[in-house]
Amino acid sequence: MGNQDLMEIKSFSGTLEASGYSTPITFSASISHGGKIIFDFGVIPLIQQNAYILKLFHKESIKSENFTLSGTSEDGTEFTTKDLYFTCLNDSWSKEAGSLMRPVGECQSAELLCTLDEISPKPLLRIRLKGFQNFYRLTATCRLGLIEMGGISLIDVPDTVTVSIEIRPEKPPVDLATWHDEADKLLEHVRRLMSVASAAILQVPIIEYIVENKYKITVLSQSEHSPSGLCVIHFPDQQPFFEAAVKSFFEPPIQVKNLFFAFEWFSIGSSYSEVRLVNAMTAIENLVDSNLADSDTFIRPKSEFNTTRRVLRQVIKQCIEKWSDDDLKNVGEAVTALNEKLSDLNRRSIFEKIKRLAELWSVPLDGISDEQIKFAKAARDLIVHRGNYYEEGKDQGDNLWEHVTVIREIVVRFFLTAINFKGSYCSYLGGYHITQFPPQASELNS
């Protein structure tokens, strides 16, 4: 669906409410191409009945006062928001006109309900996304119906609604509520995976639901879309990935815990390689921490190491008391600080955990050496603890970008394995190129 389908300006007559106050109001609203509600309240004379607007706006409070706004247009469209807030009132006074307000408002969410002229024989659930680029319409069938994703191949303004994902059942569902709940989860699953394909978080400012002749539009406030120049799937070749995304919702090849948190970390946009490396490494940390058993995470069982830890704590205390010139208070503080560090001795390194999870899930790490992983992890540590990677006046001897591409490649391979994807993807390891997953022996030897 294109931008032309977004709501044009409509005039509404309704009510404004807050803190027990209520007043009639007329206003206009539209949905911009960025998926945002645009209000026009016009000029409002300031009178006793609406003076609470001015009072609540200037109220000194930790939490700003939200208003409830509702109204109906001439064609019967109903508008409701429970979290309207005013950014300014532009209140003024003149001898000729008296006291006036020209409010400017925004809302976090809004709902529009209208009645269609024709009855739809089957329900339709649609979410609209910002900034997604694709070449042709993507389709897949599942037990919930036909799911489609359409968009545009050239995006002039990234922060624009460019695509929709929609699903319609093959025949009217027996239990409409259950179908809607499952379809909603499916669309969210696909959205997150297509965010991975784009390497950018695809936000949903608009949700549409059609049942018979009832049409509901939910508009949600979203931050500005940040495109990525490091896509995982080249936009003309998204169909195989789309099909794998849909199928993995119903038949996940691997039962992955907290996979979506890793998706979010990976898809957070940045123009700084330092942030890209930290985000990608955090995605891996999330995967290994959530999906490895204690036996893979810890060197010795926790109960066994707790005994060892108590012995080590006594040895440390004796050594500090023997060798330290500090007073007893400082000795106690030192022992406590070192005791907190002792638990780290029993944790396996992130390198070991990556290798163990890769083996458990059968993730191919061909073409990535152990040294590359260790060096990339060390680079991440420098950034986290020092605040930057390159130290002024010193030659680091390597390139931060190389570390970024190594960790991103590992994350991508974990993701592709998790949804059983087979096909071409964009790799940046050793320079940008399109390659196959799983890796082909002929390519690795070339």
The answer to whether 164 and 158 have CB atoms below 8 angstroms apart is no
- Over residues 374-410, the pLDDT tens digits come to 999 999 999 998 888 887 755 555 689 999 999 999 9
Cα distance between residue 61 and residue 39, in whole Å? 25
pLDDT recorded at residue 325 = 62
The larger pLDDT score, comparing residue 14 to residue 341, is at 14
What is the mean pLDDT of the segment spanning 417-432?
A: 95
Average of per-residue pLDDT values in the chain: 87
In tens, the pLDDT along 100-120 reads 999 999 999 999 999 999 999
Answer with the residue of higher pLDDT: 56 or 245: 245
pLDDT confidence of 64, banded at 50, 70, 90?
low
Cα separations (Å) of 327 from 58, 315, 319, 337?
56, 18, 14, 16
For residue 148, the model assigns a pLDDT of 96
Q: What percent of the chain has pLDDT over 70?
A: 91
Amino acid in position 153: S
The enclosing H or E element of 130 equals strand 109-130
Provide the pLDDT for residue 328: 53
Mean pLDDT value of segment 275-290:
94
Calculated CA dihedral for residues 289, 293, 295, 297, nearest 10 degrees: 0
Let me know: does 310 contact 328? Beta carbons within 8 Å.
no
pLDDT for 1: 36
Give the C-alpha separation, 165 to 207, whole Å: 10
Task: State residue 312's pLDDT score.
Answer: 78
pTM: 0.85
pLDDT at residue 295, as a whole number: 83
The pLDDT of 50-63, averaged and rounded, is 79
Q: Is the pLDDT of residue 446 over 70?
A: no
Select from 201, 142, 189 the least CA-distant residue to 165: 189
Grouping H, G, I as helix, E, B as strand and the rest as coil, residue 406 is helix
Per-residue pLDDT at 151:
72
Q: Distance between CA 206 and CA 326 in Å, rounded?
A: 64
Q: How many CB atoms lie within 10 A of CB 383?
A: 20
Between 344 and 242, the more confident residue is 242
3-state secondary structure of 16: strand
**Arithmetic mean of pLDDT, 315-321:** 75
